[in-house]
Chain A
Amino acid sequence: MAEKFTSITAAAAAYEARNVDTDQIIPARFLKFPRAQGYGRFLFHDVREEPGFVPLAGARILVANANFGCGSSREGAAYAFHDAGFRSIIAPSFGDIFFRNCLKNGIVPVRLADALCAHLRAMLREKPATELTVDLESQLVVEPGGKAHPFSIDAFFRSILLQGVDELGVTLSLKSDIEAFEKRYASGS
């Protein structure tokens, strides 16, 4: 899928826990369902019934904590966020594979400093559904009132998201480079 992403301004929600694993985000028993059925209903399926779970409905941006999306490589975790309406997740750090899976599903994962994420989560605890802006073009997260925080993101993915270009399409256009590589590689050079 090649969804374009330039900037969103939307209600945000906070997720406090550190080391949130992808088993929590989507239990394994849901991964066998076809994507077309929609994965939004599986988001945090088992944990959301627990007391104290802060509802996420209506939010399109999540502000999370360290090592978000660790564990299993299941892309269902990104499917679930996407189909539930999320288009950006902000955290101090991410599980590697989950980070990349988000990028493949039109969700911009933003790394911000620990203290800054804590500040944003505290703000959302006080005022749930506060709107934040995630601007991919200028690489800024903007609070209400205008305070802006820069973030870095790989130029490659920023570029294809801004253009709404399909990553696989880019690679397929490089077919001759791949074939040339294979020739060199096979000959041992």
Chain B
Amino acid sequence: MSAVPPRTLFEKIWNRHVVLERDGQCLLYVDRHLVHDGSFHAFANLAARGLALRRPAQTFGTVDHYVPTLSRSAADAPTPEIRRMIDTFAANARRHAFRAFELGDARQGIVHVVGPEQGITLPGQVLVCGDSHTSTHGALGALAFGIGQSEIEHVLATQTLWQARPKTMRISLTGTTPSHVVAKDLILAIIARLGAGGAAGHVVEYAGAAVRAMGIEERLTLCNMSIEAGARAGMVAPDEATYAYLGNKPFSPRGDLWKESLEFWKTLSSDAQARFDAELTLDASLLEPMVTWGTSPEHALPIGGVVPQGPARSLQYMGLQPGMPLEGLPVDRVFIGSCTNSRIGDLRAAAEVARGRKARVPAMVVPGSQLVKRQAEAEGLDAVFRAAGFEWRHAGCSMCVAMNGDAGAAGERIASTSNRKFEGRQGRGARTHLMSPAMAAAAAVSGCLTDVRELA
């Protein structure tokens, strides 16, 4: 009898989902398929082929990219085309009878906030969604990745996907993360180190003491931005924190099924001798609060840094010169939200900075889901934000990608807790600086990029 070779967490999940192999591709089974209001091309193509949604019970949807955040009515969408996106989602939900959290539903929110908080995302599963930040769900020990419209259609029709087996990379974060340094800073530091394509072709597993010390929300932030380093997916092996998180979620398994699931989840870790195709180690204790300066998420530095000799085009777009200190750079607007940083922990961190202070520039807080919003209100965070002059809004993707009309103006410098700073992302000509929620709140109350550790 031969021993089972040591396997990584990724391999354990991948191997149990292969339906068959053909010409070097694996037909992978999908446990969970999340859809949103941007998925309409796929539904239209499915209808054009006369095909049905194969597994409604494994399909969940929410409206997020196009929804208004000032109200809960589709009629308040800024254009008829945007309104149609919200209505089309509702029509598809009705037609195919999958669980849908529509505008006005208490469970509605950004798909990568909703999946985990509803217990839809579970360890050991393959989860896909038509959005590149699907990597978020890997924080719960799932293999989760983004797909395009054709692939969405394929999953709707068959509950499977053709995939080439990716490589594996382990990123170990050692040491103790300093106070005021959070998962957002860690992932920005990782991307700066790897580059925007550094993890291309790899599924990343995050490991090490600093990761084990993170709560689930921090792990979600970490995995969320894996795609910005080019990774196919990012994941964290489940542990006691994961089981505690999942214990009481609406769609989590119950009773005997919970016991069985727990037994299975406890097998979900990389074996001690497992081999990764690439390894990277970072000492988390050396890290500082980060901000980005250019037009790629890889353009990130500690707040004490200066603008480097970067690509001329990026510097020109951002209105920066090499040598300019980042600290003190005036901002015109602050956005706290997005699937990266809009959960209750993020809002608490931002509120802590906003408390007793006043926003000097327009600042808005967009909770990641209506559940997060309600919890924040129960904790009085909305009152803290409002007293500080921040706008308190309803859940949606909002200004991260500006598809709902919440956009910055050309030339505006925006301190944002989102995940991308590509040209035009937050509005044509808008200039994005990415940072953590506390750093964004600090920017709001000082009117410039600020070291939150030194806020008076």
Q: Is the CB of B23 within 8 A of A32?
A: no
Q: Is the CB of A96 within 8 A of B201?
A: yes
Q: Is the CB of B27 within 8 A of A23?
A: no
- Interfacial chain B residues near A23, Cβ < 8 Å: 420, 422-425
For window 126-155 of chain A, which residues contact chain B by CB distance below 8 Å? 154-155
Given contacts A27-B424, A168-B154, A181 and B403 within 8 Å (CB-CB): no
- Interfacial chain A residues near B49, Cβ < 8 Å: 168
Q: Is the CB of A95 within 8 A of B230?
A: yes
Q: Is the CB of B196 within 8 A of A67?
A: yes
A74 to nearest B CB, angstroms?
7
A98 to nearest B CB, angstroms?
8
- Interfacial chain B residues near A66, Cβ < 8 Å: 197
Q: Is the CB of B85 within 8 A of A32?
A: yes
Q: Is the CB of A97 within 8 A of B146?
A: yes
Cross-chain contact of B81 among A33, A101, A159 (Cβ < 8 A): A33
The answer for the CA separation of A17 and B295 in the assembled complex, in Å, is: 12
The answer for the CA separation of A64 and B260 in the assembled complex, in Å, is: 50
Q: How many A-B residue pairs have CB under 8 A?
A: 144
Q: Which residues of A contact B (CB under 8 A)?
A: 17, 19, 21, 23-24, 27-29, 31-35, 46-47, 66-67, 70-75, 78, 93-97, 100-101, 104-105, 154-157, 159, 167-168, 171-172, 174-175, 177-178, 181-182, 185, 188
Q: Is the CB of A75 within 8 A of B423?
A: no
Number of interface residues of B (CB under 8 A): 57
Q: Is the CB of B422 within 8 A of A71?
A: yes
Of the 9-residue stretches B155-163, B180-188, B267-275, B375-383, which lies at the interface with chain A? B155-163
The answer for the CA separation of A70 and B195 in the assembled complex, in Å, is: 12
11 extra interface residue pairs, beta carbon distance < 8 Å, beyond A105-B150, A155-B24: A23-B422, A29-B403, A32-B403, A72-B420, A73-B131, A73-B132, A93-B197, A95-B197, A101-B149, A104-B150, A157-B25
The answer for the CA separation of A70 and B298 in the assembled complex, in Å, is: 12
Q: Which residue of A lies closest to B227 (CB)?
A: A71
- Interfacial chain A residues near B200, Cβ < 8 Å: 67, 93-96
- Interfacial chain A residues near B91, Cβ < 8 Å: none
Q: Is the CB of A168 within 8 A of B157?
A: yes
